[in-house]
Amino acid sequence: MDQPDPSELLTRVIESMDSGEDRPQQRQMVEAVDRAFRTRTHLAVQGPTGVGKSVAYLLPAITSARSHADARTIVVTSSKALQDQLGERDLPFLADALDVPFRFAVLKGRSNYLCQAAVAETRVQLGRGEEQQTLDLGVGWDGDGSVPEVRAPDPMLRVELDRLLEWAGTTPTGELAELADPPSDAAWSALSVGPGECVGASRCGYAAECFSEQARERAGGADIVVVNAHLYAADVQAGGQLLPAHDHLVIDEAHEFEDAMVGALGVSMTGWRIRRLAQVHDRCVADAPTIAMAIGAAADAVDDALEQVFGEVSSDRGSGRLTGELPDVIADALTRADLAVDRAVTSLREVHKAAGNAPMSAAAHRFERAIRNCDGVSDDLHALRDDLHPGQVRWISEGRRGRFALNLTRIDIGPTLRATAWERPVAEDSRDAATDDGDGSGGPTVVMCSATLDPGTAGRLGLRAEYLAVDSPFDFRRHGLLYVPRLPRPNAEAWPDAVVDELVHVIERCGGRTLALFTSHRMLRRTVDAVRDRLPDADVLAQGDAPNRVLQERFLANEHTSLFATASFWTGISSPGTTCSAVVVDKIPFPVPTDPIVEARCDAVGADRAFMEVSVPAAGVQLAQGVGRLIRTATDRGVVAVLDPRLAEARYRARILDRLPRMKRTRERSDLDEFIDSLGLD
C-alpha cells in the first residue's frame, strides 16, 4: 500500500482552509510524531496554543493506517467535550479535506449509552411495555411467582423518563451527548448501566441492539478511535478488554493525564453507595425487609465512622489522610457493611434461581445487574480494608451536604501503566510493521502532547520518551504584557482589598473584556461582591450564578462582559478576538498542601525537596494554562495580570516564569495602562 507523506497531507489541509496558515511549528510536530510512529519511539511534545496539535498527530495516524493494514491509533482525551470536538469537527474536516480514506470512531464508557434492557424494564415499570403483566420492574418478585403491583415513580421523574423513552425509539446512537438538554442523574441511571453493572453481550437478550456494543463494533473497525481518560483507565483495569488492539496511543492534554489516571484507578466508598444497594436488592426481591434494614444500618455505621475519624485526623494534621492501619471504628463499619452486602448477594442468587427466569430475559438481566452491583461494592470494601502498600494513599474526603467518602488510590502509577498498558501487545494484524519500541516492551508507541507539558511527566508515567518543546507561532513579545503589581503577599490582611482595586482598574480600562481566575471559591465570592459594589453598571458574571456552559456563552457573546471563575475555567475556554483582552489571576495556583494526594507525593520525594519538585512544577503548569486563555489566534492581543508579588520576588519565580509565554513584563501600572490603550478598545 502506497504511503502518503504526512507533510504533504498537511499542505492539502492548509490549502483547503479559508484562512489556512503554514506554521513551521506544526510541520515540526507532524514530522516528529510521524518519526515516532515509524521508529516506535515514545515522544512527549509541548506544543503551545496555536500550533494545531490535533491535526499534527492525526495526520501521522492517518498515514500509518494507510501504510500498514489495520494499524490503529487510540487517541485519549482529557474530557468528553474534547472527544466530541475531535469526532464532530476535526476528524470530519480531515476526511473532507483529504483524498485519503480512513475510518474513525468515538467511544465512551457504557454509562454514556442507553441500555436497551434497562429501557425495556422501565417501559414495563411505567406501564408502557407489552410484557407488563409478565415482567416486574417496580418492587420485584414476591416469592410465589406472581407479579406484584408496579410502583409508580415520582411524577416529575416520570415525565422525564417518558421523554427519554420517546427519544430511545428514534435515536441512532443512544448516546447521552445527543441530548441538548441533559437529563437528571436519576432519570439517566434508570436507563443506563454504571461501571461494572453490565452483564455482558453473551448473557443479555438485548445484545443485538445494544448501543454500547454497536459503538465498540464501530471502534473495532476504525483506524482512529477517540476515547477519554476514564475509559482508558477502565481498559487498563480490565486488562485491555474494553478497547481494540492498537499500535499507537496519543495522549492529548497530557498534563492532566497523570491526575486523571490516579483518580480513575482508585476506589471510593460512601454510605450512600452502600445504602443504594437496598433499593437495588428490593427491585428484585420484595419479601426480605431485614436485608434492606441491615444494609441501611451498615451504611449509617460507615457514615458515622467516617465523620468521626475525619474530625479527628483533620483537626490533628489538617487533612483527611489516613496513614498506617485503618482505624478500628472504620474497619468495623466496613466489615459490617461487607456482611450486609454478602447477605444481599445470597438473597439475590437464591431468589433468582427459585424464580426460574429465562437466562437472557429482562428479569434475568435485572438480577444479574443487581448481583454485579453488589459484587462491585464488596470488592471495593475489601480493597479499602487491606493494609496500605507502598505508593498507595488512603483518605477521607468531605463532599456536598456533609457526606464523607473513604478513598484509596496509587500515586506511583508508572509501574502499573508500564505493566498493564505500555507493554500490552500491538494489534495482531500489524505486527509485521512493529519493531521494538526502545523499551523492550513491544507495546504501543505512545505520543503525549499538551500546551504545557512538564519534561518529567513521561517518566512519572513509566515511559522513556524523547521530549520536544515546539515554539509558539504567536508573537507574545509584541502582543502580550505580563503585569505583576507591587501588592502585599496573599497571606497579608490587606491583599484581598488590593486584588479588588486592581481588578476594578483592569475592568474599567478594558471596558469589561476580562477573565478573572481564582484559586478558591471563597476568594472569588468575596472579590466579585466587592467589584459589583464598586462597578454597579458593569456586567460581571461569576461561576456559580449559572451553569458553566451558559456563563461561557454569555461571556463570548458580549465583549463588554467580565467573567470571574475558578478551576474549571483555567482550561477549556477559548475566546479569540477582543472578547478576552485581559486575564487576571489572583495568585500563583500552588496545589493545596493538605490535599492527601499532594501530601503523599511530597512525602515520597522528601520534605526538603517537596516544594520545588511537587508544588512549583504543578503551579507552573496550572498558571500557564490560565495564561493560555488570553491569546488564541495570531492577531489576539492583551494583558495578563498576576496579583501575587511572589511571581516577581520569590526565589523560585524563574521556574514558574519559564513555563509562561515570553511576554513583556512590568510591575508598573502606567505600563499596563499604556499597553491597554494601544489595543484600541472602545
Half-sphere exposure of 276 (CA within 13 A, CB side): 13
Question: Using one digit for the tens of pLDDT, what is the confidence trace for 643-659?
Answer: 999 999 999 999 999 99
Indicate the residue type of 183. Answer: P
Candidate from 206-210, 221-225, 570-574 with smallest mean pLDDT: 570-574
The pLDDT of residue 67 is 82
Cell reading at 140: 420485584
Element (H, E) at 343: helix 328-355
Most confident of 63-72, 544-553, 673-682: 673-682
The closest alpha carbon to 186, from 210, 167, 158, belongs to 158
Q: In whole numbers, what is the pLDDT of the chain averaged over residues?
A: 88
Question: How many Å apart are CA 244 and CA 559, to the nearest integer?
Answer: 45
pLDDT of residue 318 exceeding 90, the answer is no
Contact 434, 610 (CB under 8 A): no
Question: How many Å apart are CA 247 and CA 104, to the nearest integer?
Answer: 15
The pLDDT of residue 128 is 60
Q: If you ran DSSP here, which 8-state letter would residue 389 be given?
A: P
The pLDDT of residue 434 is 40
The pLDDT of residue 425 is 58
pLDDT of residue 391 exceeding 80, the answer is yes
* Averaged pLDDT, 202-210: 86
Contact 514, 561 (CB under 8 A): no
How far CA 90 is from CA of 53, 158, 239, 345, in Å, comes to 11, 38, 30, 47
The closest alpha carbon to 212, from 308, 119, 341, belongs to 119
Q: In what order do the strands lie in the sheet with 466-469?
A: 104-106, 224-228, 73-77, 248-251, 445-450, 43-46, 466-469
The closest alpha carbon to 620, from 656, 652, 588, belongs to 656
Question: Using one digit for the tens of pLDDT, what is the confidence trace for 486-524?
Answer: 999 999 999 999 999 999 999 999 999 999 999 999 999
- Tally DSSP H helices, then E strands, for the chain: 27, 18
Other C-beta atoms lying within 10 Å of the C-beta of residue 445 = 26
Question: How many Å apart are CA 447 and CA 458, to the nearest integer?
Answer: 10
pLDDT of residue 169 exceeding 60, the answer is yes
The pLDDT of residue 145 is 34
More confident residue, 638 or 71: 638
How far CA 501 is from CA of 121, 123, 504, 579, in Å, comes to 59, 59, 5, 22
pLDDT confidence bin for 120, thresholds 50/70/90: confident
pLDDT confidence bin for 427, thresholds 50/70/90: low
Question: How many Å apart are CA 638 and CA 512, to the nearest integer?
Answer: 13
DSSP per-residue string spanning 162-173:
HHHHHHHTT-SS
Q: Is the dihedral of CA 276, 279, 284, 287 positive or negative?
A: positive
Question: Using one digit for the tens of pLDDT, what is the confidence trace for 602-635?
Answer: 999 999 999 999 999 999 999 999 999 999 888 8
The closest alpha carbon to 389, from 306, 300, 324, belongs to 324
Helix/strand/coil (H/E/C) assignment for every residue in 234-281: HHHHCCCCCCCCCCEEEECCHHHHHHHHHHHCCEEEEHHHHHHHHHHH
Cα diameter, the chain: 85
The pLDDT of residue 432 is 43
The alpha-helical segments, DSSP class H, found in 386-494 are 413-417, 457-460, 476-479
Percent share of the chain, pLDDT over 70: 92
pLDDT confidence bin for 281, thresholds 50/70/90: very high
The pLDDT of residue 144 is 35
Question: How many Å apart are CA 9 and CA 55, to the nearest integer?
Answer: 10
pLDDT confidence bin for 421, thresholds 50/70/90: confident
Q: Is 143 exposed, middle or buried (0-12, 13-18, 19+ CB in 10 A)?
A: middle
Indicate the residue type of 297. Answer: A
The pLDDT of residue 18 is 73
Cell reading at 361: 430475559
Q: In what order do the strands lie in the sheet with 664-666?
A: 539-542, 561-565, 514-517, 582-585, 638-642, 480-483, 664-666
The pLDDT of residue 3 is 65
pLDDT of residue 244 exceeding 50, the answer is yes
* Averaged pLDDT, 360-383: 89
The pLDDT of residue 440 is 41
Cβ density class 282-311: b for 16+ within 10 Å, e for less: bbbbbebeebbebbbebbebbbebbbbbbe
Contact 278, 295 (CB under 8 A): yes
The pLDDT of residue 506 is 98
pLDDT confidence bin for 420, thresholds 50/70/90: confident
Element (H, E) at 410: strand 404-410
